Structure 1
Amino acid sequence: MSTPADGAAYWLRWQVFVCGALIAVPTALAAALLPRLRRSVAPLRATDLWLPCWPRLHPGCLLGYRAFALAAAAALLVRDIVPHGPRVFFFYTQWTFLLVTIYFAVATAISAHGCWSYSKKSLRKTDEYGDVENRDLSTSISGERKNDEKDKMASYYEQIANEKRAAFWGRCMQIIYQGSASNTFICTKFTAFKTLTVCCYVVLNLSNFFQVTDGMHSVNAVLLLIDTLLNNMPFPWYRIAFFVFWSCSYVTFQWVIHASGALSWWPYPFLDLASPGAPLWYLAMAVAHVPCFSAYWLVVKAKRAYFPRMFPQAYVRTS
């Protein structure tokens, strides 16, 4: 079987043109979704980036979790780079894990700024929120008092609904969040049971957190799923465009380094264009982006649909 190092003959195969089309078409379709970003009905608010979806949970808790996730992701990434060097970034898994690490870095910084802003709020708003948090919500409270409490919760969230829209870094954070979340599903080669097993292992063996076998394939998903359960960020379907851009960028990167002769082997055999079945593999990977993104989108949708019913006094949907 020929390799990219064999020269022009490799790149003149019919598979190259078909696979190139399978990269170009999804990229064009993703680009067609970009105008939808400006027509968004529910624009991203600055408070969505750092305020938890649980009114009783102090924003500092989300900040603390994100700082922990950043440290964990960075340590795991460094642990992989030190013995193997930069060549680990020939693999899509490391690309994705780097993106997850960047997300938690940006999210930690924005959460820290949000907590600082939160501490500077007027005494009136702080007292009002504290009154909502500290009220007794036991089942013995009368229905009238519960309704009054719900009204105060709604009043508080009406206040933050008028907050300014997210700025440049906030929008970048949402883009990275949605791209990395979807990527964790396409990268993870474990079943749900396997992922649950890894979660249990991490909880029971916290001291060995960085010794989890194939940790990058599942730890990134675990870290992001926990963040999703805590944060209040929207997850619009049309942002699948950035997920597609990320994957197409990786494949383009592989083509470029192979065409330049910098690499003579393919990190993933199904990317090898010399195989007659390469177009089928490329098509399968392109199609796989839809269920992977949809799976995470459904997780967020289920959270927003069922949590208000399951935890009516503890969870408030704001967008």
Structure 2
Amino acid sequence: MELLLSEDTTTLSYWLNWRVLLCSIWVLSSIFIGLYLIWKYELSDNSEIYGKRTQQESLSNFRYDLAWKPCLSGIHPIYLMLFRIIAFCLLFVAVSFDVAVHGFELYYYYTQWAFTLVTIYFGFGSLISIHGCYHNREIKNSSNCHFSKDMEQGLYTPLAPGLNENGEKLLQRLNHPGKFHLLLTYDFWSYLFQVLFQITAGAVTLTDLVYWCVMFPFLTIKDYELSFLTVVAHSLNAVMILGETALNSLQFPWFRISYFLLLTGIYVLFQWIVHASVSMWWPYPFLELSVDFAPLWYLVVALLHVPCYGIFVLAVKVKHHLLSRWFPHSYRFCQ
């Protein structure tokens, strides 16, 4: 989907104009919003920031068993493990064939970033599921989400830069090897896994919706052919992440749209650095900065992050509502 080069992107005149200024404001604003949300909900140790809902949500986010157990206790974790392994194999084969056919220039596209991210997610998830199933008898059932008093007070601190009273309690416990140390370690990887899940879901929704709803029906690109690999790159990832969402026990809090915003912001900055260094085609027509409507395109894409992320927030809420009513005794989801 290479576009014809309309203007030399390495000249100062291409970058020093009102269009680039407005686009820079949209991009940098998204990045700053993402960083602020991370600071507020992930890094800050100010207890006044967190309400009861956020504290309960954070406790469940750090439950390692929720990363590998299905949402229904009647479904054996091995089925979720098999699904992740199969998904990883299919995605890995697809991305390998795509790179073999088109080369690493594919990584100029946001689609390939998202597709590779999904592949990494399912590879990571497969390892967590394998480990969880292997130690199934050693990990307590977490369907009721019971915590001891000390754990409830001090579990939500792994990313905090400073130490508070609760953090000191955790560090004191870390000085003594045992199951709690292992639990905290597992919870850390579980936390990273959930963050990756939320970034992946948003990125997949954005790429597939933009392609099938905007680019495919409305844009005509010279010498463009709808190949099998293109269809796979814009559909297989969505199918797999939807299946994962239906099976897993992970939450989907709104504030982690921050990581999704950072991913897109980093991609745009990457494109700008590349084009400022080398005069080349733009992978997407709405990234072209020489057209008068460029600021509008950038603003629209930035605003699209909210509904794209919101789709999965809604999907998780609907899943929780339905399964908690249909299977009240076997549904595993922390509140």
- 1:106 paired to 2:124: yes
* Pairwise CA distance, 1:159: 6.4
Task: State the one-letter code of the partner of 2:202.
Answer: S
Aligned equivalents of 2:332, 2:113: Cα separation in 1: 35
Kept in 2, the 8 Å contact 1:27–1:245? The answer is: yes
TM-score, with normalisation over the residues of structure 1?
Answer: 0.78
Cα 1:168/1:315, change in 2 over 3 Å? closer
Specify every segment of 5 or more residues in structure 2 that has no aligned partner in the other structure, as ranges. 1-5, 44-49, 149-179, 214-226
Aligned equivalents of 2:195, 2:267: Cα separation in 1: 17
State the SS of the aligned residue for 1:103.
helix
**Within 5 Å, which residues of 2 pair with 1:46-195?**
46-120=64-138, 157-158=143-144, 164=183, 166-188=186-208, 189-190=211-212
The match for 2:12 is 8
State the SS of the aligned residue for 1:167.
helix
Instruction: Please list the CA deviations of residues 199-250 of structure 1 after superposition, one character each: whole Å capped at 9, or x if unmatched.
Output: xxxxxxxxxxx95761111111110111111100111110000000001111
* Pairwise CA distance, 1:311: 3.0
TM-score, with normalisation over the residues of structure 2?
Answer: 0.75
Aligned equivalents of 2:325, 2:120: Cα separation in 1: 34
Kept in 2, the 8 Å contact 1:4–1:258? The answer is: yes
Kept in 2, the 8 Å contact 1:3–1:265? The answer is: no
RMSD over aligned Cα, in angstroms? 2.2
* Pairwise CA distance, 1:54: 0.8
Task: State the one-letter code of the partner of 2:128.
Answer: I
Kept in 1, the 8 Å contact 2:115–2:233? The answer is: yes
**Within 5 Å, which residues of 2 pair with 1:271-310?**
271-310=287-326
**Within 5 Å, which residues of 2 pair with 1:227-306?**
227-261=244-278, 263-306=279-322
Kept in 2, the 8 Å contact 1:13–1:274? The answer is: no
Decide which moves more: 252-261 or 37-46. 37-46
Instruction: Please list the CA deviations of residues 137-191 of structure 1 after superposition, one character each: whole Å capped at 9, or x if unmatched.
Output: xxxxxxxxxxxxxxxxxxx623666694553322221111101101111111337
More helix by share: 1
The match for 1:223 is 240
Specify every segment of 5 or more residues in structure 1 that has no aligned partner in the other structure, as ranges. 130-155, 192-209
Aligned equivalents of 2:189, 2:85: Cα separation in 1: 18
Instruction: Please list the CA deviations of residues 86-127 of structure 1 after superposition, one character each: whole Å capped at 9, or x if unmatched.
Output: 000101110100110111111111111111110445xxx7xx
Decide which moves more: 59-68 or 40-49. 40-49
State the SS of the aligned residue for 1:4.
coil
Task: State the one-letter code of the partner of 1:77.
Answer: V
Task: State the one-letter code of the partner of 1:10.
Answer: Y
Kept in 2, the 8 Å contact 1:190–1:218? The answer is: no
Instruction: Please list the CA deviations of residues 1-41 of structure 1 after superposition, one character each: whole Å capped at 9, or x if unmatched.
Output: 42304x11111122111101110111111111112125441
Cα 1:231/1:167, change in 2 over 3 Å? same
Kept in 1, the 8 Å contact 2:95–2:116? The answer is: yes
* Pairwise CA distance, 1:270: 0.9
The match for 1:199 is none
Kept in 2, the 8 Å contact 1:27–1:248? The answer is: yes
Paired residue total: 268
- State the percentage of identical aligned residues: 34
**Within 5 Å, which residues of 2 pair with 1:14-33?**
14-33=18-37
State the SS of the aligned residue for 2:135.
helix
Aligned equivalents of 1:229, 1:56: Cα separation in 2: 14
- 1:37 paired to 2:42: yes
Aligned equivalents of 2:200, 2:191: Cα separation in 1: 14
Kept in 1, the 8 Å contact 2:249–2:332? The answer is: no
